[in-house]
A and B are shown apart, each in its own frame.
Chain A
Amino acid sequence: MNVNPTRMEMKRLQQRLKTASRGHKLLKDKTDEMIRRFIAVAEENKRLREETEKELASALVSFAQARANTDSRVVEEAILMPSRALKITTSSRKIMGINVPSIEVEDNGGELYPYSFLTVTEQLDNAVRGLNAVVIKLIKLAETEKACNMLAEEIEKNKRRVNALENIMIPQLTETIKYIKMKLDESERSATVRLMKVKDMLN
């Protein structure tokens, strides 16, 4: 760093170094904690995704069968006006200072099968039942996945900050402080020598 080698400048830099080291320690601790939380969230995310993908696939297969067995227009008509509405309320909660979504599903208790049993086959019932179960899990998955995404993002950012402090800021400050100190010592020595010379001359 390009600074004036003065005592005042050194004091200022020492203060900055102190702040930087403290910040570095705090950020490092934050990263550790975030990683700990992240691993839990990521595992949960993986588990949920495996489960939902399987269940969703089987529900969709039933649905495809239902459409194949009956006239697809009949099926479309049957589910055109669902009596259940997916009501959700959202808010955000904080994990390590990051806003992650929190989604609550409300069941409005509507009729599960919004059609007459006369026209459609059993497969559609299965599909609708399966989907109803899986959609709640899917929303949970969405919530977890988002938390996972955001945590990963934040951890990466935080790591950058820690690295910048550790490898650039702190070495630079230490270096500069050392330089100023040496300069000051040097001028002190030359002042002493000058005094001695003057004393010699006077005698």
Chain B
Amino acid sequence: MYNKIAVIGDKDSVLAFKSVGAEVFDSSTADETRALIKKLSQGGYAVIFVAENLAEQIPDTLAKCKTVTFPAVVPIPTTEKSSGLGMQGIKNDVEKAIGVDIIFNK
């Protein structure tokens, strides 16, 4: 049963999520993150939030997670300014499905 939520990122930026009851995992390198995602996806986590700066480094792992129902791996910005990775993800999906980007060009 998938009923847990995890947040992966460097210690300083994800600590805040502890206060709302999510489980927080430290990671600062791509390899660590990869291993964590692999472990967590077998551990009953429904949603895994990954800090954008880490998510950027592991596009292959994210792509692999896209094909299964659980867990949902979602990149989130952990600094004031978002790097736009999440938006890029939506854009890619739209392009993949429709061929041209009709949502962002409005």
Chain A residues near B (Cβ < 8 Å): 34-35, 38-39, 42-43, 45-46, 49-50, 52-53, 56-57, 59-61, 63, 67, 76, 79-80, 82, 84-90, 92, 99-101, 103, 110, 114, 127-128, 131-132, 135, 138-139, 141-143, 145-146, 148-153, 155-156
Contact = CB atoms under 8 A, between A and B. Distances in A.
B96 A152 contact: yes
Nearest to A136: B20
Interface of B: 1-5, 12-13, 15-22, 46-47, 49, 66-67, 69-70, 72, 74, 76-82, 86-87, 89-90, 93-94, 96-98, 102-104
A82 B5 CA distance: 14
23 contacts: A35-B98, A49-B87, A53-B86, A56-B77, A57-B80, A63-B15, A76-B15, A80-B18, A82-B18, A82-B20, A86-B21, A90-B3, A101-B2, A101-B70, A103-B47, A114-B19, A131-B16, A132-B19, A135-B22, A146-B72, A150-B66, A155-B96, A156-B97
Contacts of A150: 66-67, 69
Contacts, number: 144
3 residue pairs, one from A and one from B, having the closest CB atoms: A86-B21, A152-B93, A79-B19
Given A35-B98, A149-B93, A49 B2 contact: no
Given A142-B74, A153-B66, A60 B90 contact: no
A88 B16 contact: no
A100 B69 contact: yes
The prevalent SS among residues of A at the interface is helix
A92 B46 CA distance: 11
A36 to B, nearest CB: 11
A84 B13 CA distance: 20
A73 to B, nearest CB: 12
A139 B46 CA distance: 10
Nearest to A135: B20
B73 to A, nearest CB: 8
Contact of A101 (B18, B46, B76, B102): B46
A31 to B, nearest CB: 9
Given A49-B86, A61-B80, A151-B97, A127 B66 contact: no
